[in-house]
Amino acid sequence: MNYVKTGMLLALLTALFMGIGFLLGGQTGMVIAFFVALAMNVFSYWNSDKMVLRMHGAVEVDEKDAPEYYRIVRQLVENADLPMPRIFIMHNPQPNAFATGRNPENSAVAATTGLLDVLSQEEVAGVMAHELAHIKNRDTLIMTVTATIAGAISMLANYAMFFGGRGGNNNVGWIGTIALALLAPLAASIVQMAISRTREYQADKLGAEICHRPMWLASALEKISVAARSTPNERAERSPATAHMFIINPLSGERMDNLFSTHPNTENRVRRLHQLASEWGGDQVAESAAPDIGIEGPWSVSDDDKSGPWG
């Protein structure tokens, strides 16, 4: 049902974009809007992962550079039956992470130094399982397309504001043009947020299944949410269109959840994970089901671990 809802929202976003083209330029404007959207999506399909990683200063690492982080991802990949993604670290004090890539065969996961420093290894596993769930569900492609169309709508709205009232093909007039310029980006943002929220809940559930421990992710979400509010993410603030990709909203306005947040309320997400843990018989799942990355006892980050390449 959630996939149907996501498809309907994407269709609505595309229809909104083409509708704006029609209002600004009639049938010709609608056709132009369609081909512009197509070109932007083709470009983002092949290049979005590189653009986003570069935008956030992500550095690729291997097992030698970040052994524990790499080992956690490798074990979770086996659990999820996925190809091994490229692994990146962002030198950023805010604990956060995201996944990107056009498909599972061409994917990447990125975690901030803040996340690797603040969270225990169990919690890091919960976060990475969530990001791998996005890859398995192909959410990274969906969210890239969504962001591209939403950005194109904003571009058309800006065009309408400056040039919309001058052309003979304008079907809305000056008052309509101003209303269009103000309301179209808002409508696109609301649809984008709705899609993002739907996919986040699904990734939480599948991520819990991948790591077999819902409470690992629940604990991580609580810690990240608190830390993100007090630790600014300057790169994310400069590129707000990518905020929906992170596991927790990296922008300073995260507390204004409800209608205008790209992410569901953290308390709601944690509550759902608690319910899932209860359905599975509490937060203790059979040890044979939990990921084994070769570390004895509880997964915790030692002082030595924290002084790795991200320290």
Residues with a catalytic annotation lie at 131
The string of DSSP letters for 137-198 reads TTHHHHHHHHHHHHHHHHHHHHHHHHHTTTSTT-SSHHHHHHHHHHHHHHHHHHHHHHHHHH
Neighbours of 281 (CB within 10 A): 9
Q: Which residues pair with 107 in a beta bridge?
A: 101
Neighbours of 27 (CB within 10 A): 10
Residues 205 and 116: their CA atoms lie apart, in Å, by: 22
